[in-house]
Each structure stands twice: as structure tokens, then as C-alpha cells.
Structure 1
Amino acid sequence: MPVPLSVPCLGDSAIRALIAEWYLPDGAPVATGDAIFRLECDAVAVEVEAASDGLLRHRLDPGALCSAGDVAGLILAAGEPAPPLSGATCRTLPPAGPSLEAPLTPLPFAPRTASASPSVVARPPVTVPQSITGDGGEAAPAPSAALAAAPMLRLTVRLAGANHLCGQLSREWRPAGLAPLIEDVVARAVAMAIAERQLLAHFGDSVSLSIAGAGDEPDTVSAVTARMPFREAVSVRMAASAGSRPDGPVVATITSFAPLGIDDAALWPGAGALLALTIGAPRTGAAFQDECPLPETVATLSLAFDPRWLTPGVAAGLLARIRDLVEAPYALLAG
């Protein structure tokens, strides 16, 4: 019977791991003890070995995210058919031997998707009138099933530290005409938080920052990476022309509605992005010291994420790290 190559548990903190590399191709003969593939997570990298002799069949591609117990592949005896996959059509292996001239075709696998829950914010259906699309025009394609119900997380972040940093740097950089904004601090925090996590850094650390234009003015969009010094990121944002777009792909989109006075909003990840973070307009909250209320400036950060790649726990940890960097922002000046 088929011997599964299961993903081992890498620890309580490793919710998901990455199929970093298959050492042997699909259909290759394997022997007991052969190293088959490598798993990676934030903490460790582990090689998974074959438990028996046979033919190797892949079920997860390199770069796929998986959890403990998932079947990454199978080891089959010569001529043994592979078991069917739930929701997918399975092919039968031809008998092994010298008559095999063409390489084996990898088995299809069913991608894991997250279902919507009561805490999920669903995207409402939108009907585009013909007066907008024009005669013969086509409306934008419907979102994928995973993004049609993108999970949302929100938290309140204190801005005292970020405001102090922006004020100090504005004075220091006045000769160069540079003036950082809260949006620059948040964008830098997002890029650094993503780069700190190995599973997310696999997708890159470039994020786009969009500041909503007031009135009929188009948004101003710039790209930020964790490797870019904070001063350079501010310079790039100030040099970006209204309506511009980043040249390359981004792992996250950041949108500020502060110029419009909107203190809470939600956007879905765009094409190719795993995360969409929105910044609400600053508002006055209340902190307490010795039971006395003290006013403080706060803002709402909202995070929508693609559930095909991130679990709620990973997304929540990422958002909490972004909050910590924004509230204690001097770490953002490193690099």
C-alpha cells in the first residue's frame, strides 16, 4: 500500500512550514533512509527521509505551505496506483521498468482553502452598469473564492512615538526638504515585520504605500522595502507623482485614508498581494494614569489577508508586530 510522506510537527510555534525543495524528481526510485525533501519554518529546517523503498510521487509543489500531518508525497510500489485525492482527478502510475521512456506526470493536488466564518468580512457582489463600462465593455473579473471572503483583523495603535519621530526627523532633514509622515512609519514597519518572518519573506519584502488623494486628486503610490533606509523611503514617497504605481510585484498593499478623515476602512488584497493594510485617520483616544484620563492620539490599523497562504494566528502575530514597531519606531531607523 502507498506509504505517505507526512509533514512532521516542527514545534508548537511552527503553525505552518514551507516545502523548500524536493531532492528527488517526481517518479524517481527511492530507498529507505533517502532524504526526500526539505521543510523550512521560522525556527528550523528539517529533511524528511523515505520510510520504505519504491517510487516517489509528489503531491505538494516546492514553495507550498503545509501543516503538520499534511501528505507532501507518496512512496508507491512498482505498478501500484496512487490513492485518489479529494476533489481532484487522480492518474494511475504505469508499471515501473525500462519501458518507461517519458517522464512521469506529477499528480494533481487539491489546494487547501479556508472557509468563511462569522468573523469573516465578505465582499458584497457588485453589478457594474453598462453606462460605466461602455458599449461592449467588460466589468472587472470576479474575485477568487479565497479572496471573496478575506479575513479581517483590526487594532488600535498609539501614535505618540511615531509623531515624535516624524517631528524630530523633519527638523533634522529640513535642509534636504524631507518630511516623514505617519504613513512612512507604518510602511516601514510593515516591510520590516514581513522580512522578519521567513515564510513571508519567501514572497519578498516589497510593499506599496498609497495615500488617498483629497477631492479629485489621484492617490500617491510608492514602493518600500525592508532593505531601503527610512530616509530613502521618505524621499521616494515625496518624489512619487500622483497616480503612479510601483514597477514590480508587492507582497502587501498599504492604504492611508487619513487625508479623507476616514478613521476605519477595509480593503482586500490586490492581485499578487498576500496582505492589505489600511491606516485610519488619527483621532483622540484616552489613556489612564493614576486613574486620571489623559488624551492621546491613536489610529486604527486594519489587515486583510489571503487565507490560502496565512493562518489567522500568523496574520495576528504580524499585525501585533507592526503595532509594536509603530509605537516604538526608533528600531525602524536601523539599516
Structure 2
Amino acid sequence: MATEVLLVKAGMTMTEGSVAEWYVPDGGTVDKGQPLYRMETEKIELEVEADASGMVRHVVPAGTTLEPGGLIAYILAPGEAPPATLAPGSAPPAQEDGVLASPIARRLAREGGISLASVTGTGPSGRITEADVRAHLVSSPPVKAPVAGAPPPTEAIPVPAEVLASPLARRLAEQVGVDLGRVRGTGPNGRITKEDVEAFAAGSGARPTAASVRSPLGRMAGQAVPVRGMRKVIAERMHASLQEMAQLTMAMEVTMDEAVKLRAALVAEWAPEGVKPSYTDLVIKAVAKALVLHPLLNATLRPGEIELLPQVHVGMAVALDEGLVVPVIRDADVLPLKDLAAASTRLADAARSGTLGLDDMAGATFSVTALGMAGVDFFTPIINPPNVAILGVGRIREGLAWDGDRPVKQHQMTLSLTIDHRAVDGAPGAAFLNTVRELLEAPYRLLV
């Protein structure tokens, strides 16, 4: 029987994706595990591997945008006939506006204030790509009425359309005045990443542009910001989370003196290997160990039952300019702390450069979100469905505690746990928080 190839779902917030490129032509052969196609969403681009070996028959051409789980191809075993429903050479499905374009191209056109109908597509079947929109913006920039009192614009360096670079790298290059044609890419296939642009700018003294020196308020004042793309998905999911769950938040103080000492020692010890653990890494490890002891918080609520999940996969929230993504540290309970710290660094870097893979985004059983770097002590994190709990991490601050009859300085941190009261009562939630606190106050237990 033919193996169906379905458009993968890269994370719970994904609503549509595009088959940006077929790596195996229609009628070509593929081996299981070999890259089959490149998928593109408004958040990420990723390479998807074949689940079977055999002949590939495309159902949709490159450039088609559809919902996750949509049928895009078949893989046929030797001698197997294609399904009767396969229509070779069929035209790509029409988009809502009659224009065939990738999600990133559509977003860029909206941001640039241009109509896709005025852009010539160079992709498969005339599909408009990101490079097409950027080329159009350079050749025919939208005309905007001058604003009274506004400073004269500073010329930005056009980003060459043919350069292979991530969307974040392109945006940063335009902001700091870097010519991407002069930047050496270190990503897959020589792709230029945000870090490559930052490194080049630091070494070349790139000139600032008006966009890089103007305050965010100055850029946005007097404008209405449309709720769309990643922001629209986040808005819908967070609202649904609060509407559908009985969410309760509780907080607990943690003494972090020993954790501060341990982290300093580990930073020095692991520096030769390029691993720099963060305080959030210590919290994630403590959470993972605590979830083993308190399985009700490592669960999902289904109709008529609470399913206790067999693996501990901790999602870590990463803030981006466009919104929030939650890559996943898998098997965090058994992963050594050094490997966990390396994994969290890789995932955060991939999130910011738009290179997260499918496995990086799927399957979180619990989530951790930190706002300590913004000076926040306590907040009420919103649960990421279908999880039943999430932990918020505040800043580490100096505080006072009593040692007998005298005050002593301590490093203190507030943990904010939100639970779904339909699945978890207050007492089990408090017990979980106490376990996390005990592990962080005796952090050498995180190393075993």
C-alpha cells in the first residue's frame, strides 16, 4: 500500500505551511531518512525526511500552502501502482487571493505595504518567494507620504535576493547596514544566520541606519498593529487556554546561594567544552526531576481521564521579535545537566535564527518560562495546551533572611507555578513546587 506523505505539524501553534521545495522530483526515488522536502511557515523553515523508501509521486507542486496533515505526496514500493486519486500534473490549488506565494513572502509583502499581484514570481509554478518580494521592494519601494518633523531617511543597503540567508539575518543586515554579499554564512548550505551578520558587523564597523537608531516607540507611534501571523496564533491559543482551563497560580521563594556557587563553578569547569549553563538550565533540570516524583503535573487532560505521560519533555519559552516559540528539551529527567545546558543553548540559537527542526518543536509535557532577565519577580504564566502546568521563573535578587536574631543577605528567586485545577489540586501543585525548591537549594543533586 502506498505510503502517504502528509505536511508535518511543526509545533502546536502552526495553522498552515508551504511545501517550499521538493528535494526529490516527481517520479524520483528516495530512501527512508533522506531529505524529501523543505517546509516553510511564518515561524520557521525545516527539512523533512522521508518515512519510507520508494518512488515519490507528488500530489501538490512546490509552492503549495495547506493545513498541517494535508496530503502532499505518495511513496510507492517497487512495482506498486499509484493511487487512483493521484492526478499527475494537476494545477496548484488556488490561494485565497488568487496569488501563489510562500507564507514568508506574504508576510514580507504585508510589512512592506505592497500588493503581491504586482510581484513576478520566480518559484515553481510561478510561486512568489521571499527573494521575489525583496527584489520588488528594492526596485519599486512603496511611496509613503512624508511626516512633518520626521528626520530625513537614511539609505539602507539593499539585501541581494539571491543570497541564502535567514529572515532574521536579512532584517538585521538592513538595520545595521551590512551587505550580505560580503558575509560568509556558517549555516546549512552556507546559509547566513543572524550570528554571522552580528559577527561581521562587529568586525567591520557597519554604519547604523535610521531604523537601527530610531526608538521602537518612534517607529510605531500613531500606528495600528495588525494581529496576524505568529501574534494571531499566540493570541488565539492563549485566550483559548484561559477560557478552557481552571488556571490557578501559586508562588514560592527559593534561596539560591548554593545554586549561584554551583553555576559559577560549572561555568568555569565546562568553558573548555563551550558549555555555559544558565540559571534557567538549573531550574529545568530541577523541574524534570520533580516531575518524575509528581507525575500529575506531567500529564494531559482528555475527556473522562487524566493521561500521565511516560516521558518528561520540557518546553522552554524563547522570546522573538515576532512572538514566542517553545522548543523542547527531550527526556530532560535523564539528560545530564551538561548536555541539557548545551541543548538549551542550541535550541535558543535555532529559535532566534529561524532554524528549529520538527523534533525541536513537538511533544512538550511541561513548560518553563523565564522573565527574570527583565527584572520580573512574580507573574502568572499561562499554560501551554495540552499541558496541565507551567512554571514561571523570576529574577535572582539579593534579599534578607533571619539567622536566629540577626538578618543575613541571601540570593532569592520567586517561582510562579500555574496549574490546571481540573487536573491538579493545590496541594499536589505545592508539593511539586517544594520539590523544585529543595533541589535548587541543594543543587548538587542535579548532577546525579
TM interval, short-chain normalised: 0.5 to 0.7
Q: What residue number does 1:242 align with?
A: 351
Question: Displacement of 1:239 after TM fit?
Answer: 1.5
2:376 matched to 1:231?
A: no
Q: What residue number does 1:303 align with?
A: 417
- TM-score by length of structure 1 reads 0.54
Q: 1:179 corresponds to which letter in structure 2?
A: K
Q: 1:132 corresponds to which letter in structure 2?
A: V
Which of 167, 174, 177 aligns to 2:264? It is 167
Three-state SS of the structure 1 residue aligned to 2:361 is coil
Q: Percent identity?
A: 25
Question: Displacement of 1:197 after TM fit?
Answer: 3.0
How many pairs does the alignment contain? 203
2:245 and 2:420 in contact (8 A); partners too: no
Superposition pairs for residues 148-297 of structure 1, below 5 Å?
Answer: 148-200=245-297, 202-203=308-309, 204-212=311-319, 221-224=327-330, 225-240=332-347, 241-243=350-352, 244=356, 246-297=360-411
Three-state SS of the structure 2 residue aligned to 1:185 is helix
2:226 matched to 1:131?
A: yes
1:212 and 1:258 in contact (8 A); partners too: no
Superposition pairs for residues 86-165 of structure 1, below 5 Å?
Answer: 131-133=226-228, 140=236, 142-143=239-240, 147-165=244-262
Question: Residue 211 and residue 323 in structure 1: after superposition, are their counterparts in 2 closer, same or farther (change >3 A)?
Answer: farther
Moved more, 317-326 or 143-152: 143-152
Question: Residue 262 and residue 161 in structure 1: after superposition, are their counterparts in 2 closer, same or farther (change >3 A)?
Answer: same
Question: Displacement of 1:307 after TM fit?
Answer: 1.6
More helix by share: 2
1:286 and 1:295 in contact (8 A); partners too: yes
Q: 2:226 corresponds to which letter in structure 1?
A: S
Question: Displacement of 1:222 after TM fit?
Answer: 4.5
CA-based RMSD = 2.8
Question: Residue 267 and residue 218 in structure 1: after superposition, are their counterparts in 2 closer, same or farther (change >3 A)?
Answer: closer
Cα shift readout 1:116-139 (whole Å, capped 9, x = no counterpart): xxxxxxxxxxxxx893249xx896
Three-state SS of the structure 1 residue aligned to 2:277 is coil
Three-state SS of the structure 2 residue aligned to 1:151 is strand
The 1-side partners of 2:434 and 2:447 are apart by: 19
Question: Residue 147 and residue 294 in structure 1: after superposition, are their counterparts in 2 closer, same or farther (change >3 A)?
Answer: farther
2:284 and 2:368 in contact (8 A); partners too: yes
Q: 2:440 corresponds to which letter in structure 1?
A: V
Three-state SS of the structure 1 residue aligned to 2:362 is coil
Question: Displacement of 1:219 after TM fit?
Answer: 6.6
Cα shift readout 1:46-74 (whole Å, capped 9, x = no counterpart): xxxxxxxxxxxxxxxxxxxxxxxxxxxxx
Question: Residue 144 and residue 227 in structure 1: after superposition, are their counterparts in 2 closer, same or farther (change >3 A)?
Answer: same
1:206 and 1:250 in contact (8 A); partners too: yes
Cα shift readout 1:189-243 (whole Å, capped 9, x = no counterpart): 1111001235455323111122556x88977845151011111100111122234
The 2-side partners of 1:218 and 1:312 are apart by: 28
- TM-score by length of structure 2 reads 0.41
- Structure 1 unaligned spans of 5+: 1-128
User: Following TM superposition, where does structure 1 have runs of at least 4 consecutive aligned residues deviating by more than 6 angstroms?
Assistant: 215-220
Three-state SS of the structure 2 residue aligned to 1:297 is strand
Three-state SS of the structure 2 residue aligned to 1:280 is strand
- Structure 2 unaligned spans of 5+: 1-223, 299-307
The 1-side partners of 2:406 and 2:341 are apart by: 37
The 2-side partners of 1:144 and 1:217 are apart by: 17
Question: Residue 211 and residue 167 in structure 1: after superposition, are their counterparts in 2 closer, same or farther (change >3 A)?
Answer: farther
The 2-side partners of 1:305 and 1:265 are apart by: 13
1:212 and 1:260 in contact (8 A); partners too: no
Question: Displacement of 1:299 after TM fit?
Answer: 1.1
